[in-house]
Amino acid sequence: MRYEVDHVEIRDAITKLCEAFDGSYWRDCDSASRYPSEFVNALTKGGYLSALIPEEFGGLGLPLSAGAAILEEIHHSGGNAAACHAQMYTMGTVLRHGSQAQKQKYLPKIASGELRLQAFGVTEPTSGTDTTNLRTTARKEGGAYVVNGQKIWTSRAEHSDLMLLLARTTPKEQASKKTDGLSVFLVDMREVRGTSLTIRPIKTMMNHATTEVFFDNMIIPEDALVGEEGQGFRYILSGMNAERLLIAAECIGDAKWFIEKATNYAAERNVFKRPIGQNQGVQFPIARAYANMRAAELMVREGLRLYEAGGTSGEEANLAKLLAADASWEAAEACLQTHGGFGFAQEYDVERKYREARLYQVAPISTNLILSYIAEHVLGMARSY
Ligand SMILES: Cc1cc2nc3c(=O)[nH]c(=O)nc-3n(C[C@H](O)[C@H](O)[C@H](O)COP(=O)(O)OP(=O)(O)OC[C@H]3O[C@@H](n4cnc5c(N)ncnc54)[C@H](O)[C@@H]3O)c2cc1C
């Protein structure tokens, strides 16, 4: 199989780095629900988690497509970048809307690995996808904000120093629009963890280090505010195209892993005195998954191209996430089916990757919500909510 690829040197370096973290490493982390610290440290040491941080702040200053290549190859190798990808997709909001002082204070330390910005607190248990109805509030008092409320699915909070937090600073009834009155904060969790900030892990079907977090009169300094007060929803939205493209790249990596794994197994496994891969009933689902992966990959590249050219990539970023998540899931199905009973045995890694790949139909945005975006914002159909 030959894939046309960009950032070849980075891809090769990541593939090499990932050789030290093989299936048994990820299996062990998975069965012990353990954070893959060694892997995240190796990526940090290699500078890869600072790929999108400008050089003036100690990062590699690379474009989004380089970040996408890094994440794709981690997944292509059988690993899982979910342990650390947030540092890439939160970066746009900090770079575009953060103050010079915030950038100088945090970015060099994030780039060196001294600090981690891996937590992104948006989703809440009651409002779910309906973000503008979130209930966490940040009330200004003197030179500080007092935060109260709860977030859910705040992944990696236990393994992060900083959190990008979305909270309401103006009650919805007093805001001129429901999208106004929300603000973004760069919270230094080291100062409040265990007192006014409580983090509780949530056990999930895959090893994801996700949590729920509770803010109980959590005091954060005024200068934790990112950009202008009340404009936070726009800032988060502006970062979402990058997030969707990066997640789509991970899905492409997963799809490639499943397709290669299935193809190899189909060639090796003999039943009825011939390789199962000789049967078209086994070949065709893998071939179709390959075709759909390649088509999705083109859309991911187009989204990245438009993003880097500074154009509006909303349509393409959403299409890329939808198609890539579908392609990885189709490839996961084909791979598991090709393996027959062995697909269910942990030592083949297929069942682990299968559980991991399923997430991207739901998070960071569910398939339905993308379809709704396409229907309403691309095709101009009536709003449903
Ligand atoms: C493992 C994991 C990690 C996560 N990490 C983070 C994180 O780090 N930070 C963070 O902020 N969030 C995180 N999330 C949250 C994730 O973004 C949400 O789960 C996702 O956006 C869906 O929201 P919800 O779970 O509240 O579903 P709901 O909004 O309750 O929706 C439930 C279902 O109904 C459908 N639905 C809802 N409204 C409509 C509609 N109008 N039309 C059609 N269908 C609709 C949805 O598509 C979905 O399938 C994570 C989630 C998981 C599971």
Active-site residue (options: 73, 124, 229, 243): 243
Question: In the chain, where does DSSP find H-type helix?
Answer: 8-19, 23-31, 37-45, 64-76, 86-89, 91-97, 100-112, 232-268, 280-308, 314-338, 350-358, 367-373
pLDDT recorded at residue 15: 97
Verify whether ligand 1 is closer than 6 Å to residue 155 (CB atom): yes
Pocket lining: 383 vs ligand 1, CB cutoff 6 Å: no
Measured from the Cα of 365, ligand 1's closest atom is 21
- Decide: residue 181, CB within 10 A, 0-12 exposed, 13-18 middle, 19+ buried: buried
For residue 2, the model assigns a pLDDT of: 58
Q: Separation of 338 CA from ligand 1 center, angstroms?
A: 31
Q: Find out whether the beta carbon of 129 lies less than 6 Å from any atom of ligand 1.
A: yes
Atom index in ligand 1 nearest the CA of residue 125 equals 26
Containing 185, the helix (H) or strand (E) segment is strand 182-188
Nearest CA to ligand 1 atom 21: 365
Give dist(CA 78, CA 350) in Å, integer.
9
CA dist list (Å): 229 to 89, 91, 101, 235, 336: 21, 19, 17, 11, 49
CA angle, corner 366, sides to 95 and 68, nearest 5?
A: 40
Q: Ligand 1, atom 17: nearest CA belongs to which residue?
A: 364
Active site residue 173: no
Q: Is 372 in the pocket of ligand 1 (CB under 6 A)?
A: yes
pLDDT along the chain (385 residues), means of 10: 81 98 98 97 97 97 97 98 93 94 97 96 97 97 97 98 98 94 98 97 97 98 98 93 97 98 98 98 98 98 95 92 98 98 98 98 97 97 94
- How does DSSP classify residue 375? I
Cβ(366) – ligand 1 distance below 6 Å: yes
Q: Beta strand 182-188 with 197-201: parallel, antiparallel or unpaired?
A: unpaired
- Dist. CA 365 → ligand 1 center (Å): 6
pLDDT at 311: 79
Q: Burial-class residue 255 by CB neighbours within 10 Å (0-12, 13-18, 19+).
A: buried
Ligand 1 atom with the shortest distance to the CA of 367: 47
For the chain, domains (ranges, CATH) are 8-112 (1.10.540.10), 117-230 (2.40.110.10), 234-378 (1.20.140.10)
- Cβ of 364 below 6 Å from ligand 1: yes
Residue owning the nearest CA to atom 19 of ligand 1:
363
> How many whole angstroms from 326 Cα to the centroid of ligand 1?
17
| Contact 79 CB / ligand 1 (< 6 Å) | no
Cα 109 from Cα 302, distance rounded (Å): 33
DSSP assignments along 197-250, one per residue: EEEEE---SS----EEEEEEEEEEEGGGEESSTTBHHHHHHHHHHHHHHHHHHH
Q: What is the pLDDT of residue 313?
A: 85
Using the atom order of ligand 1, give the atom closest to the CA of residue 385: 41
**DSSP one-letter code for 345:** S
Ligand 1: nearest atom to the Cα of 202: 1
Going by their DSSP bridges, the two strands 211-221 and 225-226 should be labelled as unpaired
Residue whose CB lies within 8 A of the most ligand 1 atoms, among 122, 123, 150, 185, for a mutation test: 123
- Contact 206 CB / ligand 1 (< 6 Å): no
155 alpha carbon – ligand 1 mean position (Å): 13
Q: What is the pLDDT of residue 312?
A: 80
User: 107 is written with which tokens?
Assistant: 């970015």
Nearest CA owner, ligand 1 atom 36: 368
Residue 343 and residue 282: Cα distance in Å, rounded? 14
Nearest-CA neighbor of 257 among 84, 80, 100?
80
Give the CA angle between residues 252, 254, 259 to the nearest 5°. Answer: 95
